[in-house]
Structure formats: C-alpha cells, structure tokens
Amino acid sequence: MENKSKRIEEIFKQDLSMYLTGRQRVDEQLPDAPDIEEQWAKIGESYLPDAMREFSKYPTVALGWIMFVGMAIAKYWDEDWELYGKVDNLYEYLRDRIDFDHMDDYILDQVLLLDENEHKATSTIVAECAARTYTLLIHQGYEPGTEAAFRGFIAALHQMYLMGAAMELKRLGYHMTQLQ
C-alpha cells in the first residue's frame, strides 16, 4: 500500500510540476525546504477534517486551499521563521484568522500581500492545479471510502501543499538549480 501511495504522489508531483513550470510559477528543480516539509505532518493532520468535510461538494476547494496554506508557510519561512516556526499549529493559526471558506483570500491579501491582478492570477493557477489533481485522483479508480482512496487523497494534498510552497519561494526570488 505504501508503494502505491508513493507512486500516486509522484504522479501528482509530475503533473503539477510540469504545469507550473510551463507557467513559470516553479523552477524545474523543485526546492528542498525541510523546515516547510517538517510542518506537513501537523498541518496535514489538522487540515484533513476540514478537507474531508468539503470534498464531497467542493473537491477543488478541499484540494486548492492546502496549496494556499503551502504558500503562506513559505512566506512565513522567508519572513521570520524564528517566530513562525514556534507556532504550535500554523494551519489552525491561518484558518482561525478568518474561517475555512475565506482562508484563500486572507492568505492572498493579508499574508502574501498580493495586488488585485496577482491575487486573481494566483487564484486561477491554484484552481487549475486543484482541478488537474482532482481529475488525476478520480482516474486512479479508487473505490470511495476505502483506505486506498484516503491515501490517494492525502498524497494529493501533500503535493498541493509542497507546490504551493514552491510557487511562493519562486515568487520571493528563490531559484532552484541542480548541483553540478
């Protein structure tokens, strides 16, 4: 089961990376950001109940909002990790600033400080990433309510989170290159 989860996560990663690289939103070499990755376990665990509640009616919201969270974590990492790294649960910290339904706008406006055009462009990119990931998830043929479907959903959320972080790191001026 674990190998299948790794394979599906790689499918999500490759698709998102290809799409975002083509739109110059991430570099071909994705960032290695252990501080951001280390936050995933707690963020994912806290995010999952909200995502599962939303998934049946709003699957792209359930998938997309975690990408915004990844962006916010990358911004916090760049801004003042000494401070934000001490926050017990960064997902709850973000969500509780407003509410789940409006967390996207809060992150884009109050955390990332995007202007109207970049807010709209980023929302469009996230919506496309969520739709692509949802389509890939559906095409895996998981039977709803099974452990495999649950693991596939978690793999999708994890890659959306990481790609959100990668997008924000690139926007902040970090450029990843392969070591020679």
Over residues 32-57, the pLDDT tens digits come to 899 999 999 999 999 999 999 999 89
Q: What is the maximal distance between C-alpha atoms in the chain?
A: 47
The DSSP secondary-structure symbol of 131 reads: H
Contact in structure between 164 and 67 (CB atoms under 8 Å): yes
Lowest pLDDT segment from 43-47, 67-71, 142-146:
142-146
- Asked if the structure places residue 178 within a domain, the reply is no
pLDDT, mean over the chain: 93
Q: How many domains does the chain have?
A: 1
Looking at the domain assignment, is residue 12 inside a domain?
yes
CB of 132 within 8 A of CB of 64?
Answer: no
Has residue 156 been placed in a domain?
yes
- Cβ–Cβ < 8 Å for 158, 40: yes
What pLDDT band is residue 145 in, cutting at 50, 70 and 90? Answer: confident
In a domain, 160, yes or no: yes
Q: What is the pTM of this model?
A: 0.94
- The boundaries of the domain holding residue 152 are 2-171
* Residue 122 belongs to some domain of the structure: yes
Judge whether 76 lies within some domain: yes
